[in-house]
Amino acid sequence: MVSIKPGVSADLIFESDETKNQVPRMQTMIHSVAEKRIILSQTTPPITDTPLGQRLLVTFLETNEGITLRYGFWARLKGFKDYELTPSQRVPVLVVEGETEPKKYNLRMNFRVKPLPNKGLIVIFQDIPVSIVDISVGGVRISAQSDLIFKAHDSIKLTIGVDNTKFDVEGRVIRAWSAKTAGGGYQSYTAIQFLDNQTARESLLSKKIILMERELLASGVQ
């Protein structure tokens, strides 16, 4: 099992940012580890006004027998403080509380693509197909009529269709909002994080996303 070690450089992503098109990945360093209490250096760029209690993902590289892999663990922001790095040097740090053990993490889990219609990728909720705003291996943003309302932290079940294969997926609502349409009505949008790890789904969806990315680039669509 990979352990969390002091002196290791890491990247930090807040859970609320995971569903954005451009995920703001911030650099940090692990200063100390005492059971679940972990001290991280102030990030680059720095954060100072993030509300306490925010959930975040910390990822780092681990080399074993010449093979380097990325691992990640979930933690929760508990506070900001000054930390005595040496007897003559104090530095600003983040205090977090670890919630999970490190496991292998794929950065492409957060790479999102807006699929073109009729390209073999569908999302179904309660037996009704919904519009895909964008999708990654780790989550999806959907658009639906305003009468389909979700709330943050809701647990929902979706069906993901990749070509001729369908997967039932457990998800959690990260963010839900509405926007006014040109016709004066409202359209609802929901960002959903996939909770279950299905190797077959992740592998097939990852290949599909890469293929769609290449098709979009070839057609000049950004």
Per-residue pLDDT at 42: 93
Predicted local distance difference test score (pLDDT) of residue 178: 81
| Three-state secondary structure of the chain | CCCCCCCEEEEEEEHHHCCCCCCCCEEEEEEEEECCEEEEECCECCCCCCCCCCEEEEEEEEEECCEEEEEEEEEEEEEEEEEEEECCEEEEEEEEEECCCCEECCHHHHCCECCCCCCCEEEEECCEEEEEEEECCCEEEEEEECCCCCCCCCEEEEEEEECCEEEEEEEEEEEEEEEECCCCCEEEEEEEEECCCCHHHHHHHHHHHHHHHHHHHHHCCC
pLDDT at residue 187, rounded to an integer: 79
Q: Hey, what CATH topology would domain 8-105 get?
A: Pnp Oxidase; Chain A (2.30.110)
CB count, 10 Å around CB of 89? 8
pTM of the predicted model over 0.75: no
- Give Rg (Cα) of the chain: 20
Could you give the CA distance from residue 114 to residue 100 in angstroms, rounded to a whole number?
31
pLDDT value for 61: 87
In this predicted structure, what is the pLDDT of residue 152? 82
Cβ atoms of residues 156 and 169 within 8 Å: no
- Span between the terminal Cα atoms of the chain, in Å: 40
pLDDT at res. 6: 93
Query: What pLDDT is stored for residue 174 in this prediction?
Result: 84
Name the stretches of the chain with pLDDT < 50: 19-23, 222
Give the pLDDT of residue 38.
96
Q: Which residue has the tokens 């996303």?
A: 209
pLDDT at res. 19: 46
Cα–Cα–Cα angle for 150, 154, 160, rounded to 5 degrees: 80
pLDDT value at residue 93: 94
Tell me what the pLDDT averaged over the chain comes to. Answer: 83
pLDDT value of position 10: 92
| Residues 188-213: tens digit of each pLDDT | 888 898 887 778 888 888 888 878 77
Q: Centre a 10 Å sphere on the Cβ of residue 122 and count the other Cβ atoms it contains.
A: 18
The ranges assigned to domains in the chain are 8-105, 110-219
CATH number for the domain formed by residue range(s) 110-219: 2.40.10.220
